[in-house]
Amino acid sequence: MGRYETRLAELGVTLTTAPAPAANYVPWVIVGDTVYVSGQISQTAEGFITGKVGADLTVEQGAAAAKTCGISLLSQVKAACGGDLDRLVRVVKLTGFVNSHGDFGDQPKVINGCSDFLVQALGDAGHHSRSAVSAGALPFNVAVEIEGVFQIK
- Percent of the residues in the chain that have a pLDDT greater than 90, as a whole number: 93
Q: What is the distance between the alpha carbons of residues 149 and 34, in angstroms, rounded to a whole number?
A: 7
Q: Tell me: pLDDT of 1 over 90.
A: no
- Percent of the residues in the chain that have a pLDDT greater than 70, as a whole number: 100
pLDDT, tens digit (0-9, with 9 covering 90-100), for 131-141: 999 999 999 99
Q: What is the pLDDT of residue 108?
A: 98
> What Å distances lie between residue 60 and 9, 88, 107, 120, CA to CA?
23, 28, 11, 17
CB 125 within 8 A of CB 90: yes
CB 138 within 8 A of CB 102: no
Q: What is the pLDDT of residue 124?
A: 98
CB 144 within 8 A of CB 138: yes
**Superfamily of domain 26-152 in the CATH hierarchy:** RutC-like (3.30.1330.40)
Q: What is the pLDDT of residue 19?
A: 76
Residue whose C-alpha is closest to residue 59's, from 30, 116, 16, 100: 100
**Buried-exposed string 20-36: b where 16+ CB fall within 10 A, e elsewhere:** eeeeeeebbeeeeeebb
